Structure 1
Amino acid sequence: MGVRGIISFLFRRSLEIAVVVALIGLFPRLPPFVNIKEPFRVAPLLPFEGKLALKESFGDVEILHKGEFVGPESFAELGGELYTTIHGGDIVKLSGNHITPITKFGKPCKGLYEEAICGRPLGIDVDKNGYLYAADAYYGLFKVDIKTGGKEQIVSPLQEINGKTPKLFNSVAVASNGDIYWSDSSSDFKLENGIYVLLADPSGRLIRYDAKTKQNTVLIDNIHFANGVSLSDDEEFILIAETARSRIHRYYLKGPKKGTHDIFIDGLPGVPDNITPDGKGGFLVPLIFGIDSQYPALYQTAGPLPWIRKLVARFMAITEYLIDTLNQAYPTEFGFKCVHFIGHFASIPLALQNPRMTILRLNKNGEIIDSIHSLNRKIQAISEAYIFHDMLYLGSPFNDYIGRIPLSKVGWDNLKVEKIKKAPPTATVSETNTPEPVKRSETIKTTQKPTISKSTQAPTTTAKPPASTTQKSTTSKPTEPSSTAKPPTTKTSAPTTAKLPTTTTSAPTTAKLPTTTTKAPTAKPPTPSAGTSQINTTAKPVGTTDTKTTISPKSSQTSTKNTESSRTTDKSDPPNRETSQKSPSQSSSQQQQRVKQFD
């Protein structure tokens, strides 16, 4: 084949390719079924000079949890503990070298290629009450209780907002009044088709969820891949990163510009991702992929030419469609992985990316006040820079580790955080001191010290009546007198009385003692209630120095068991049932006769 043959061959092949390209580009109703018509241009890149001068800052970076998970995208601090989101749908707590799962979104899946089933939490934040809020790319916006792992869906991916459903939940920021600001990266594509978002016309949004009305309001529309959000320290405005255009928007929440928005910073030398406060009124912005003259962003280069972007998007979509159709007929794990790979950000090999990684520090006016860089691929693709105590933690949606470096090593030791601002929610447990239940069927027996009165007759020992209580029945145990003979015990049953009259009993006196008349206190019996037995009033046996009437209400259960009462009396004057039931006049007459006999 001569030179003419080679030229002819190349011409024919080029013509065939041109025909195929024309068909793909011009033929209607081919995937992806979205608008790719709007040309765009990005601002010129900021020069690497002054505060943006290149210098290696990550020589002492540590690599943590290597190979233990993939994709620690974002961080949040709660109660002195650090939390992060990872592939597989999990939020985990990092305690030193320990990894503790907190909650999971989605369903069990076979691998990362099924992330639409697993769930993929991206941005997280906490509120003043200690609850964690997470944006899962596929399942929506959630409120999480880190103590129990319970979660509540706040915004569903099926919920229509201004005529469009959110497809890619990304970042979240919680205000002091409970309102939630979050980003919907695209209304056209999900995360597994993220590259299509860069090629298509913008459809991202900044949305506010009103905690009182439970309504969502679109603050900024048509953002080209809406990404990280962050509130200013005084909540005067909120920032949102526009990843595809390498710039950041500012939306005013207070002041004379309230309800308007402008460009906070433009011409960033890379792709901005999450935005975090620096604790001094400013912000930290990592550029997940660096952009410069040697490593341009091809989708930005093709920005003014929408037909080229459409051609690339259609070629990818048709390839994905063919593989997916074949995989539906003959399903294989390799086929599912290929379908997931095409159009996903993971299909961009890091080896082909810019080796430079940059983190910017911006003030409240959108000015760069410092920058730190990694220039040797030691650490790459950083999506978030988060200050935790005296360390700077570095997350990434692609890496299988977390980077960490002391703030002092990058010259940011003045950003050290000593105080924990937000504590986890504490469960309010009301402790009730419950008294021990009283066993009504049990009677506690107490023995009192006997009282001995001197007289010419045999000594008499009398047990002091026990004090009555409403909870427990106390029965005095009979004691033996000092004589060798045992005193007789008389069993008496409780008399039944509808209403007990007021009783006054004069106490008898013993021999060779002055006559003593003691009136028993008048006791008004309480009205018997349900479950309460009638009142027992028993006159004290003769031979004691005083007389006391005891009135004690008892439960029906106790009174049944205590129908036998013990009484200790003098041997020469045993008590009988008739004496215990005499009227007051008979008792007084008997007393006078006894006194006359002694005289």
Structure 2
Amino acid sequence: MKKVKMISVVLILSGLLLSSCDIKPLAYQPKTIPSFEGATQLNDKLATSKKIEIDNWYGPEDILFDSLGNIYTGVHNADFSDGRILKVDPLGKVEEFYNSGSWVAGLHFDKESNVIALSHKQGLISISPTKNVTVLAATDEHGRPFLIPNGLDIADNGMIYFSNTSETSAYSIKYGRKIIMEMRPLGGLHSYNPATKEVKTLIDGVYFGNGVVVSKDQTHLLMVETTKYRVLKYWISGENAGLTEVFMDNLHGFPNGISIREDGTYWLGFSTKRNKALDEIHPKTGMKKFVYGLPEFVQPKAEPFGMVMNISTDGEILETLFDREGVVLPEAGAVKEFNGYLYIGGDVLPYIGKYKLDTIN
């Protein structure tokens, strides 16, 4: 009798968890997690990185440099309720560049030295050298809001390309977990034409759209789909213009930011490695609802694991840098190369990592 009562209690509690859960997950069958071998052989090269402090802020999600070597990065406070764009000089002095009031993700200079940025509060914005701020676009052409605008790059012709992770809710740690669990295509890839002020949706229905980069030859761009563990290629010129294809698939972790090198190859940063427990429940919508309804401390966690890949123009992994235990870089989602160093950030990292590239080989 006691066993029956215990089973009944468990069933009732499970039912309550499921009924009170606001998640509506879709089934997703990930491919088998690839092993770390060859160009992804494990090492601890990133553990030699130095730290650049950012005055008790978090989340240097993108990193930008001016001609004097000053660093610009968007940051947030502990609960994501406030944010700034910081400017860090070569000696490490930190000052406020712009009080955004929210996290700012993508950053890029245009040809007029305006900082083009993606604010979680305002959308796509332009900040002039005299600090005048213009909102370029807060919604797409259909009126859908850019609530989590994410990756950004600017083509040589001035066209701005950017991703949006979600049109349904602003970012929080809890909502980030929800996006991962639900596996719903809530984002998109967009362009903004500064001449016509027109926003255009290039890819609709993206799974956690993230980093964006234009190719060196300006024929296509790459966009990261974090929760699909892949990178998409979107053609912007030539006979394939407007077409989308998979550039890389079944990656070893959660890809985040992507940037280009002078030789045309790419740096791809990762938030962490794949989680076997998460991959196993992805096909089971009921199980995902149950797990999401559990206390946070028993849900699948992101392990401290720094990983950056050098990717060829054909999507081949050339080299991988790791901090396996996350000693210095528990995440490496943002990665930019400047003057012989990699500068590395992440969604909740409380500093910027600086890695000397001479130590790769």
On whether the aligned pair clears a TM of 0.5, the verdict is yes
Matched, 1:215 2:198: yes
Tell me the equivalent position of 1:306.
285
CA distance in 1, matches of 2:140, 2:157: 24
Aligned twin of 1:54: 42
Partner of 2:84: 90
Percentage identity across aligned positions? 22
Q: Distance in 2 between matches of 1:138 and 1:127?
A: 21
Contact 2:55 / 2:94 at 8 angstroms: preserved in 1?
no
Match of 2:268 in 1: 285
Q: Secondary structure at the match of 1:366?
A: coil
Q: CA offsets per residue over residues 179-218 of structure 1, 9 Å max, x none?
A: 2111110122321121111122221111111222222211
Match of 2:337 in 1: 387
Partner Cα separation in structure 2 for residue 41 and residue 19 of structure 1: 29
Provide the secondary structure at the position in 2 that maps to 1:17: helix
CA deviation digits over 1:61-102, x for unaligned, max 9? 212217543222210112232211111421111112211211
- Counterpart of 1:103 in structure 2 is 98
Correspondence for 2:61: 73
Distance 1:161 1:302, change over 3 A: farther
User: Does structure 1 conserve the Cα–Cα contact (< 8 Å) formed by 2:64 and 2:108?
Assistant: yes
Deviation digits for residues 302-328 of structure 1 (CA, Å, limit 9, x no counterpart): 221122223444x37xx9xxxxxxxxx
* Equivalences, count: 350
> Aligned match of 1:9 in 2, 7, 11?
2
Q: In 2 relative to 1, CA 349–75 (structure 1 residues): closer, same or farther, beyond 3 Å? A: farther
Could you tell me which of 241, 254, 265 is aligned with 1:258? 241
> Which whole-Å CA distance do the structure 2 matches of 1:83 and 1:239 have between them?
23
Counterpart Cα distance in 1 of 2:291 and 2:142:
30
**Is residue 229–residue 249 contact of structure 2 (8 Å, CA) maintained in 1?**
yes
Residue 169 of structure 2: SS of its match in structure 1? coil
Residues 265-317 of structure 1, C-alpha deviations (whole Å, 9 max, x = no match): 011111001111122111101111112xxx4251x32221122223444x37x
Give, in angstroms, the shift of residue 31 of structure 1: 5.7
More strand by share: 2
Q: Hey, what's the Cα distance between the residues in 2 that align with 1:10 and 1:182?
A: 56
Is 2:135 aligned against 1:153? yes
Counterpart in the other structure of 2:162: 182
Contact 2:140/2:199 (CA < 8 Å) preserved in 1? no
1:20 equivalent to 2:13? Answer yes
- Which amino acid in structure 1 is aligned with residue 192 of structure 2? Y
C-alpha distance 128-161 of structure 1, shift in aligned 2 (>3 A): same
Q: 2:120 aligns with which of 137, 140, 144?
A: 137
Contact 1:103 1:150 in 2 (8 A): no
TM-score using structure 1 length: 0.55
Q: Which has the higher contact order (CA 8 A, sep 6+)?
A: 2
Distance in structure 1 (CA, Å) of the matches to 2:45 and 2:157? 38
Aligned-partner Cα distance in 2 for 1:197–1:79: 38
Distance of 1:390 and 1:355 partners within structure 2: 26
Q: Which residue of 1 aligns with 2:79?
A: none
1:59 CA displacement: 4.2
Deviation for aligned residue 1:103: 0.9
Q: Which runs of 4+ in 1 moved over 6 A?
A: 347-350
In 2, are the aligned partners of 1:133 and 1:143 still within 8 Å (CA)? yes
Give structure 2 stretches of 5+ with no counterpart.
77-81
Instruction: Quote the Cα distance in structure 1 between the aligned partners of 2:120 and 2:87.
Output: 20
Task: Normalising by structure 2, report the TM-score.
Answer: 0.89
Aligned to 1:296: 276
Where does residue 222 of structure 2 map in the other structure? 239
How far has the Cα of 1:248 moved from its partner?
0.7
Question: Larger C-alpha radius of gyration, 1 or 2?
Answer: 1
Whether the aligned pair in 1 keeps the contact of 2:46 and 2:306 (CA below 8 Å) is: no
Q: C-alpha distance in 2, partners of 1:203/1:349?
A: 23
Evaluate the alpha carbon distance shift between residue 376 and residue 312 of structure 1 in structure 2; reply closer, same or farther with a 3 A threshold: closer
Unaligned ranges ≥5, structure 1: 1-7, 107-118, 320-341, 412-599
Q: Distance in 2 between matches of 1:308 and 1:348?
A: 14
Is the Cα contact below 8 Å between 1:167 and 1:188 reproduced in 2?
yes
Question: Residues of 2 paired with 1:398 and 1:248: CA distance?
Answer: 22
Q: Name the CA shift for 1:187/1:406 in 2 (closer, same or farther; >3 Å).
A: same
1:370 match: 319
1:249 to 212, 216, 232: 232
**Conserved in 2, the CA contact under 8 Å of 1:58 and 1:410?**
no
Query: Which amino acid in structure 1 is aligned with residue 280 of structure 2?
Result: T
Q: Match of 1:189, SS?
A: coil
- The correspondence of residues 167-566 of structure 1 with structure 2, limited to 5 A, is 167-192=147-172, 193-200=175-182, 201-291=184-274, 295-296=275-276, 298=278, 300-313=279-292, 315=293, 353-378=302-327, 379-411=329-361
Quick check: 2:207–2:225 contact (8 Å CA) kept in 1?
Answer: yes
Distance in 1 (CA, whole Å) between partners of 2:65 and 2:187 is 28
- Return the alpha-carbon distance in structure 2 between the equivalents of residues 160 and 149 of structure 1: 25
Q: Are the aligned partners of 1:179 and 1:211 in contact in 2 as well (CA < 8 Å)? A: yes
CA distance 1:355–1:198, shift in 2 (3 Å): closer
Q: CA RMSD in A?
A: 2.4
Aligned position for 1:482: none
Q: Secondary structure at the match of 1:310?
A: helix
